[in-house]
């Protein structure tokens, strides 16, 4: 008679599970904003910092407003997106975000969007990781692919 075979299962850590849930919320928000942009023709963006993200909308210029010092967007300004009961921002007390771009462009968190979401659904290509545990890769068409989870030592 043979001895029973034991199989060792490795379950994801609680931190990896939390990162997966955070990523799912980000993905749902991104999908919502992309769809809204296609419906309304608006330009949206995402400001990403290591501890938070905020979806933004470009508010058209008021013709009577003085020209801004940063004239990249004309007189238009980026405002936090308000979408009723849909959450468009999140602060992560225990997780850290890392943003990378396929062209190697440096990520310098600031007050302007790091990622643009165009009215046709196109997106600035990017890779977002949460605690290096899990992440997504988003291409220029806005399609996303999960990045393999990496366990923390």
User: Could you report the per-residue pLDDT of 8-27, keeping only the tens digit for each?
Assistant: 444 445 656 788 899 999 99
Whole-model pTM: value is: 0.81
Distance, in Å, from the CA atom of 62 to the CA atom of 72, rounded to the nearest integer, reads: 15
- Average pLDDT (137-152) is 82
CATH level 3 topology of 14-62+74-147: minor pseudopilin epsh fold (3.55.40)
In order of 59, 115, 132, 147, the CA distances from 112 in angstroms are: 13, 9, 24, 26
Q: Which residues share a beta bridge with 117?
A: 44, 123
| 27-81 pLDDT per residue, tens | 999 999 999 999 999 999 999 999 999 999 999 877 555 555 555 667 799 999 9
């Amino acid at each position: 008679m043979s001895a029973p075979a034991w199989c060792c299962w490795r379950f994801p850590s609680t931190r990896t599970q939390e990162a997966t849930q955070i990523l799912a919320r980000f993905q749902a928000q991104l999908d919502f904003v992309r769809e809204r942009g296609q419906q309304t023709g608006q330009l949206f963006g995402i400001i990403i910092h290591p501890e938070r993200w905020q979806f933004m909308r470009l508010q058209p210029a008021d013709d009577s407003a003085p020209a801004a010092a940063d004239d990249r967007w004309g007189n238009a300004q980026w405002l936090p997106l308000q979408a009723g009961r849909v959450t468009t921002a999140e602060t992560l007390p225990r997780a850290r975000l890392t943003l990378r771009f396929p062209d190697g462009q440096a990520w310098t968190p600031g007050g302007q969007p790091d990622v643009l979401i165009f009215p046709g659904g196109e997106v600035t290509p990017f890779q977002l990781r949460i605690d290096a545990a899990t992440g997504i890769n988003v291409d220029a068409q806005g399609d996303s692919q999960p990045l393999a989870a990496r366990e923390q030592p």
